[in-house]
């Protein structure tokens, strides 16, 4: 039920730029001659704290690919589409998450702050051999620094998941993720 509510909130957030088109928003900015994707590829690492009974925070590693949004450009700031893949393995539980997190960024110069909702697909396995896949929703915030080809960032996100069928009555694997990012701008 909470995923349905979260999906509705994400959809409503995505529709704001469409309804605000006359208020200085640029629809389909990729069609503009001066638009640039400003691609970034980064390795990520940090701590994931799943809300799974008996599991503690442990290392989570992954990768992030991001680019300027080709669909919407706000009158101020920018929207970046972020694609994240993260893995967590705490011995008896393994979680893999693939996410799409569009973020609105603001700030001048090289340092920017961004936040936004996201949708994800999560796979989880336990040591008893049970595994399941589920949809997820998340909200995150990031601080990023770009200078030339150097990219450094840090962020946190909370992820809500559907119930997992791991032999323990549909337990969720909701989780916090706190991570740092180091990568290259193209």
> 40-87: per-residue pLDDT in tens?
999 999 999 998 777 788 999 999 999 999 999 999 999 999 999 999
Question: Which pLDDT value is given to residue 17?
Answer: 47
CATH number of the 2-20+29-185 domain: 2.40.160.20
Task: Give me the phi and psi of 9, to 5 degrees please.
Answer: -65, -40
Q: What is the pLDDT of residues 119-159, one digit of tens each?
A: 999 998 887 777 889 999 999 999 999 999 999 999 999 99
Domain boundaries, the chain: 2-20+29-185
| CB burial of residue 172 (10 Å; 0-12, 13-18, 19+) | buried
**Residue 99, SS3?**
strand
Higher pLDDT among residues 176 and 170, named by residue = 176
pLDDT at 169 over 60: no
123 touches 173 (CB < 8 A): no
């Amino acid at each position: 039920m909470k995923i349905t509510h979260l999906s509705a909130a994400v959809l409503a957030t995505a529709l704001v730029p469409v309804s605000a088109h006359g208020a200085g928003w640029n629809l389909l900015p990729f069609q503009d001659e001066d638009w640039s994707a400003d691609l970034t590829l980064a390795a990520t690492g940090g701590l994931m704290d799943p809300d799974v009974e008996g599991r503690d925070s442990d290392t989570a590693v992954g990768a992030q690919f991001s680019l300027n949004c080709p669909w919407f450009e706000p009158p101020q700031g920018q929207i970046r589409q972020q694609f994240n893949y993260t893995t967590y393995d705490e011995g008896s539980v393994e979680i893999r998450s693939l996410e799409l997190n569009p973020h609105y960024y603001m700030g001048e110069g090289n340092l920017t702050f961004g936040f936004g909702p996201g949708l994800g697909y999560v796979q989880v396995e336990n040591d008893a051999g049970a595994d399941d896949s589920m949809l997820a929703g998340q909200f995150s915030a990031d601080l990023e620094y770009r200078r030339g080809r150097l990219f450094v960032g840090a962020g946190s996100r909370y992820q809500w998941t559907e119930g997992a069928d791991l032999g323990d009555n549909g337990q969720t694997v909701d989780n916090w993720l706190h991570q740092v990012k180091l990568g290259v701008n193209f």
